[in-house]
Amino acid sequence: MNDKVYLKSITDANIMDVFKWYNMTDIFKFATGMDRPTTIDALVKMHIEVLASSNEFFLGIYEQKKGTLIGLLKGMLKNEKDGIAWIKLIVVDPSYQRMGYGSSAVSLFLDYLGNGTKVRNVYLTVVEDNIGGIAFWRKQQFSELMRIEKCAAFNDKLHNILIMYRNI
């Protein structure tokens, strides 16, 4: 928890908010990796798979003052003993964007990893066409590690991705 947000695991009670964001494909397709709406059954199945995995996390981003769920942070501790984590997605509700909530959530998460785990390297992928996403991650001090051409399909077109990283 910090002065702006706190993070806690997504529960069944939050699934409809998650469902709403996953189906905002015009806004979040690059973040979720889904360019078409999904079903509640598919989302529940994905949530169960995350819960069954010992190394994946699916966290809600909550606004500190009201306790309102305003976003998601999902990923995995790929190999905690070797110090590697992957962030798979971050979503912040459009009404809370550009107010520092996403940056606060990432900062809080990285502080937790740095102080509470052996993780020292965090990686993520971002679609090269996602200019706003790249700018956000650069602001969080992530750097480009490599570019992979035409490996992510959105709207029936292949897109390049960047792998970005940050040491903590």
Which residues fall within 8 angstroms of residue 50, CB to CB, at 6 or more apart?
56, 57, 58, 74
- Tell me the domains of the chain and their CATH numbers: 5-124 (3.40.630.30)
CA gap 23, 39 in Å, rounded: 9
CA gap 18, 114 in Å, rounded: 27
CA gap 161, 127 in Å, rounded: 4
pLDDT tens for each residue of 87-143:
999 999 999 999 999 999 999 999 999 998 889 999 999 999 999 999 999 999 999
**Residue 80 pLDDT:** 56
pLDDT tens for each residue of 31-62:
998 999 999 999 999 889 988 888 899 999 99
Amino acid at 110: L
2 confidence band (pLDDT: 50, 70, 90): confident
Amino acid at 120: R
